[in-house]
């Protein structure tokens, strides 16, 4: 039986990257070897996704992480990152650290919007957004990841009506993000709106045509033989 890592996959309660390092440590604590844990997050995941990722071979996606130590000896060394190669672009350690500081600043900037959200909805946050945009139509209110995470949080607590509103806000603000359309598809599915689910998935796939998961989701919605 193959094991897959993925605690940071669309989980609004986990911080991508950091949560995966935590998960690798938990897998080793549970009895896996460091090699097995690392494979769960690389080769096994790539095989499951069918996108060629997770391997260091010719023709595979150019996405790598360089560590300061051997994680096969100590899984905690996955935290000692010296640099990351993303889509063929090299990001050294100092650039990654600057990015983290910038992201923290972005989180702080969206706090005024996010702090107005409750379990029952985000009408107060939307009112704040309208006030801000009345003064400056292009003012920053929230990150795309922030509003998409909001939709996920409402899904977790079963508030699918507010989940859909959050997802609709995401696609209105960031129409070129395929993940926003995926969040809308999930919200519509939760409400039993098949037509809207399919339309959102089709838009997501148009923006991200190589994603096998979107293709499978659309196939699942296709009408069966009459």
Residue 56 in contact with residue 43, Cβ under 8 Å? no
> Is the CATH code 2.10.50.10 the one for domain 110-221?
no
Calpha distance 41→125 (Å, rounded) = 37
| pLDDT, position 9 | 65
Q: How confident is the model at residue 183 (pLDDT cuts 50, 70, 90)?
A: very high
Rounded mean pLDDT of 91-119? 94
Tell me the pLDDT tens digit for each residue of 148-172.
999 999 999 999 999 999 999 999 9
Query: What are the residues whose beta carbons fall under 8 Å from the beta carbon of 221, sequence distance 6 or more?
Result: 194, 197, 198, 201
Using alpha carbons, select from 138, 112, 140 the residue that is nearest to residue 127. Answer: 112
Place of tokens 């080793």: 28
| pLDDT, position 35 | 97
pTM over 0.75: no
Place of tokens 């935290």: 79
| pLDDT, position 22 | 93
User: What residue spans define the domains of the chain?
Assistant: 18-99, 110-221
| pLDDT, position 226 | 44
The rounded mean pLDDT for the chain is: 92
Tell me the pLDDT tens digit for each residue of 6-62.
866 666 667 778 889 999 999 999 999 999 999 999 999 899 888 888 998 888 888
């Amino acid at each position: 039986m193959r094991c897959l890592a993925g605690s940071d996959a669309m989980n609004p309660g986990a911080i991508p990257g950091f949560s995966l390092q935590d998960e690798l440590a938990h897998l080793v604590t549970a009895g896996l070897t460091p090699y097995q844990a690392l494979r769960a997050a690389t080769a096994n995941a790539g095989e499951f996704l069918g996108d060629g990722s997770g391997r260091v071979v010719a023709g595979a996606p150019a996405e790598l992480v360089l560590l300061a130590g051997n994680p096969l000896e100590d899984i905690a060394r996955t935290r000692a990152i010296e640099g990351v190669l993303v889509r063929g672009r090299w990001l050294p350690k100092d650039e990654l650290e600057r990015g983290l500081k910038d992201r923290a600043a972005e989180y702080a900037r969206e706090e005024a919007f996010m702090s107005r959200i409750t379990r029952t909805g985000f009408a107060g946050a939307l009112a704040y957004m309208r006030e801000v945009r009345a003064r400056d139509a292009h003012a920053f209110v929230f990150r795309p990841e922030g509003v998409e995470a909001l939709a996920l949080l409402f899904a977790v607590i079963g508030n699918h009506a507010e989940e859909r509103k959050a997802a609709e806000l995401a696609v209105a603000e960031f129409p070129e993000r395929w993940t926003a359309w995926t969040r809308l598809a999930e919200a519509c599915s939760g409400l039993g709106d098949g037509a809207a689910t399919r339309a959102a998935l089709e838009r997501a796939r148009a923006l991200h045509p190589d994603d096998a998961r979107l293709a499978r989701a659309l196939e699942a919605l296709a009408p069966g033989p009459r």
